[in-house]
Amino acid sequence: MVKWTTQLEKEKMILCTKELIQTQCQVCKKEYALFVDKKGLQDWLDGKKYIQDALSDLTAAERELLISGTCDDCWKIIWGEYE
pLDDT by residue for the chain (83 residues), tens only, comes to 444 455 565 555 555 788 899 999 999 999 999 999 999 999 999 999 999 999 999 999 999 999 999 999 999 999 887 65
Asked whether residue 48 is domain-assigned, the answer is yes
Asked whether residue 10 is domain-assigned, the answer is no
Asked whether residue 12 is domain-assigned, the answer is no
In the chain, the number of structural domains is 1
Amino acid at 81: E
Asked whether residue 52 is domain-assigned, the answer is yes
Structural domain boundaries enclosing 38: 20-79
Asked whether residue 49 is domain-assigned, the answer is yes
Asked whether residue 4 is domain-assigned, the answer is no
Asked whether residue 64 is domain-assigned, the answer is yes
- Angstrom distance (rounded) from CA 43 to CA 32: 22
Asked whether residue 1 is domain-assigned, the answer is no
Burial of 28 (0-12, 13-18, 19+ CB in 10 A): exposed
Considering the entire predicted model, what is its pTM? 0.76
